[in-house]
């Protein structure tokens, strides 16, 4: 069925058109306008409306790059339905290379937002009202924070069949069935009955090529699954590993770390993960794995205070088999655009 024109903040977008619209947010104190740019692809044929968002945490730039490269993807010219791509949600954090907004709020705890509230609350409201409320599905792109990197993974609430099927279609190496945090975009989408995936991959303020390419392929696969893009007859390479329980391994002393394990590695309970020393080698503390599983995230900075998280381990008995698959999946040379 032919699509109808849509109105976005006073601009009419005709079926078959794509355009970038700047949503005004506020001004810098230099008098410079700050806008959240939204790129809209409005297909000739009707279909689902999907949003893709990145940099809600302003320093998580892998997702911005995923969206930038997706915009050039030729198949997006023939979509069914409407795609809203928001590469930089937290424009202030992106400018300041910071996770937070200038009022030191975590934008991903401020949904649904309040147009008379804090700056973060106002941005949340702008996104909710103008983009999220119009959609049937969403994908929010993130990275690890605070010098931690994540193995490419989907986080979703997989209790409902529909979300699980969408999570499957992204074809990330790992899917973690996670609870929803209050005030997050995912909590807001869930209240509205909009299924949503959160893609976590790589580290803040860095581009990670494997994470970017798995992200691009994943978003395209989801769009195919939803019928926004023409369905592919190719079978996905691997089924993701579903994880119900994860455990954080923390430093029990402060010091300098020598890492003995890395992200994507299978470990058994009792395996040595790291050794913490001091600058004079007067003490040495061996950190062992408390569980058998797969390392899905870890610290990249080798300096820690007591209590800091060192590794994130997904509890699974299938880690060995997954480790082998990951070696293939994360090999960047292996990647082709979908």
Residues interacting with Zn ion, by CB under 5 A?
57, 60, 142
Of the candidates 210, 188, 189, 211, the residue with the CA atom closest to the CA atom of residue 200: 211
Give the nearest distance from C-beta 299 to Zn ion in angstroms: 16
DSSP assignment letter at 2: B
Of the candidates 268, 136, 120, 279, the residue with the CA atom closest to the CA atom of residue 196: 136
Task: Name residue, tokens 């803040």.
Answer: 204
Our CB check for Zn ion shows the closer of 53 and 213 to be: 53
Give the nearest distance from C-beta 135 to Zn ion in angstroms: 20
Our CB check for Zn ion shows the closer of 88 and 276 to be: 88
Give the nearest distance from C-beta 60 to Zn ion in angstroms: 5
Q: Which residues contact 196 (CB under 8 A, 6 or more apart)?
A: 137, 138, 139, 140, 156, 163, 185, 186, 189, 190
Give the nearest distance from C-beta 204 to Zn ion in angstroms: 8
Burial class (CB in 10 A: 0-12, 13-18, 19+), 325: middle
Our CB check for Zn ion shows the closer of 107 and 261 to be: 107
* Contacts of range 69-75, beta carbons closer than 8 Å, 24 or more positions apart: 69/212, 69/216, 70/216, 70/219, 70/220, 71/39, 73/216, 73/220, 73/337, 75/220, 75/229, 75/230
Give the nearest distance from C-beta 186 to Zn ion in angstroms: 11
Distance, CA of 262 to CA of 246 (rounded, Å) = 16
Burial class (CB in 10 A: 0-12, 13-18, 19+), 253: middle
Distance, CA of 142 to CA of 34 (rounded, Å) = 22
Our CB check for Zn ion shows the closer of 142 and 217 to be: 142
Task: Name residue, tokens 């050039």.
Answer: 72
Our CB check for Zn ion shows the closer of 53 and 128 to be: 53
**SS3 label, residue 162:** helix
Our CB check for Zn ion shows the closer of 60 and 208 to be: 60
Our CB check for Zn ion shows the closer of 140 and 168 to be: 140
Query: How many helices and strands (H and E) does the chain possess?
Result: 7, 19
Distance, CA of 71 to CA of 39 (rounded, Å) = 9
Query: Are the beta carbons of 250 and 310 closer than 8 angstroms?
Result: yes
Give the nearest distance from C-beta 11 to Zn ion in angstroms: 30
Give the nearest distance from C-beta 333 to Zn ion in angstroms: 28
Our CB check for Zn ion shows the closer of 122 and 142 to be: 142
Give the nearest distance from C-beta 337 to Zn ion in angstroms: 25
**DSSP state letters, 182-226:** TTSHHHHHHHTT--EEEEEEEETT---HHHHHHHHHHHHHHHHHT
Give the nearest distance from C-beta 117 to Zn ion in angstroms: 21
Our CB check for Zn ion shows the closer of 168 and 203 to be: 203
């Amino acid at each position: 069925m032919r699509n109808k024109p849509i109105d976005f903040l006073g601009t009419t977008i005709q079926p078959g058109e794509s355009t970038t619209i700047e949503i005004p947010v506020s001004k810098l104190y230099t008098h410079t306008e700050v806008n959240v740019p939204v790129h809209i692809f409005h297909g000739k044929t009707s279909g689902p409306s999907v949003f893709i968002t990145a940099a809600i945490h302003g320093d998580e730039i892998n997702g911005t790059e995923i969206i930038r490269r997706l915009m050039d993807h030729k198949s997006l010219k023939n979509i069914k339905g409407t795609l809203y791509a928001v590469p930089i949600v937290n424009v202030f954090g992106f400018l300041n290379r910071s996770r937070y907004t200038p009022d030191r709020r975590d934008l991903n705890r401020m949904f649904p937002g309040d147009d008379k509230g804090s700056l973060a609350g106002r941005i949340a409201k702008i996104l909710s009202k103008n983009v999220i409320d119009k959609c049937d599905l969403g994908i929010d792109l993130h990275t690890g924070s605070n010098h931690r990197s994540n193995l490419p993974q989907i986080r979703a609430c997989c209790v409902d069949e529909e979300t699980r099927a969408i999570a499957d279609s992204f074809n990330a190496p790992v899917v973690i069935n996670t609870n929803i945090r209050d005030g997050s975009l995912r909590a807001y989408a869930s209240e509205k009955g909009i299924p949503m995936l959160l893609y976590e991959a790589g580290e803040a303020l860095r581009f990670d090529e494997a994470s970017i390419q798995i992200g691009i392929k994943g978003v395209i696969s989801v769009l195919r699954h939803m019928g926004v893009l023409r369905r592919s007859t190719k079978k996905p390479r691997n089924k993701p590993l579903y994880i119900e329980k994860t455990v954080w391994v923390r430093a029990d002393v402060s010091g300098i770390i020598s890492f003995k394990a890395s992200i994507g590695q299978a470990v058994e309970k009792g395996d040595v993960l790291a050794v913490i020393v001091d600058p004079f080698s007067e003490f040495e503390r061996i950190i062992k794995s408390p569980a058998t599983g797969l390392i899905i995230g870890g610290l990249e900075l080798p300096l820690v205070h007591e209590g800091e998280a060192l590794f994130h381990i997904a509890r699974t008995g299938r880690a060995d088999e997954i480790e082998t698959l990951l070696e293939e999946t994360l090999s960047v040379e292996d990647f082709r655009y979908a």
